[in-house]
Amino acid sequence: MAESSAVAFGRYLRTLRERRGHSLDDVESLSRALPERIGKGYLSRCENGRQRVAFSKIITLCRVYDVPSEVLIERMELDLELDRVGGPETEGLGFEELTNRGKDAATLGASWEAYGYFRDAIPVAASSKVQERFRDPLEQSLCAIMNYTIVASQHGRHTLSLHELEYVRSTDGLGPRCSTILLELLSQRTRSFGDLRRARALSDQAVHSADLLGSLLYRAHTSPAVGHLEPDKPQPQQSGQIVRWKEKSAFWVLNIIFFSWEINASTVSALPKSTIRKS
């Protein structure tokens, strides 16, 4: 099965701590000035999935890690719901297999299956063989997070999604191709909160980045977003080349599943039907 909510959420707690560069001792020390002190033994048990973290402790951790409380609450809700509906089998699978299965599940509308696959792909991304489309383990890991944010947003957890995308951007660990997609995802998530000015600026950056890449694939994806941001403003016509590319392309956009646009019918048909569960 997929990792239990206790293990998956605990892993995320450890990730947030490590991003801040804190040790367990650091967290215990910093929490002493807050209403709910957190002992290092308690936090260690939570991070390893041996104890569920209390809600009052979540608030303390959010203050120590400088993370909006909604981020941890939304993540916990998603992991608990996956436990309830039953997640897919992910144990022993590598990054590529988990990603492909996540893409196929999303294609078939099995959003919780997709959530389980993409979530559990994150911890194995850095240690798995680097796929040709990525330049190094860091970029592969960051793109795994980007995939996860898409399914998290599809379940309405936009604060969590935006927080993780902002983290990816802060690392400066993406090449130009992946950065283009990151900008468009950031634009989508910012638009979810009604900040159309920033969403437009991010979308413009994505279009400019796509132009620099000289790729119709990226240009065709980023262009429509501008119209969504300013529906009353006349939009320039897309070139006939892009229109024809859209009509003939086997690529698709699922709001989008990053680097998984191509629908491979043989892969979908080969996926065990027992693993696909409609949401």
Q: Name the average pLDDT for the chain.
A: 81
**Res. 61: pLDDT tops 50:** yes
**Res. 95: pLDDT tops 90:** yes
Residue 227: what pLDDT? 46
Half-sphere exposure of 153 (CA within 13 A, CB side): 26
pTM above 0.75, yes or no: yes
Residue 249: what pLDDT? 30
Helices 137-154, 176-192: axis angle to 10 degrees equals 20
Domain ranges in the chain are 1-76
Percent of the chain with pLDDT strictly greater than 90: 65
Selected from 1.10.260.40, 3.30.200.20, 1.25.40.10, 3.40.50.300, the CATH number assigned to the domain covering 1-76 reads 1.10.260.40
Contacts of 201 (CB under 8 A, 6+ apart): none
Residue 207: what pLDDT? 86
Looking at residue 98, its amino acid is: L
Residue 133: what pLDDT? 85
- Give the C-alpha separation, 60 to 175, whole Å: 35
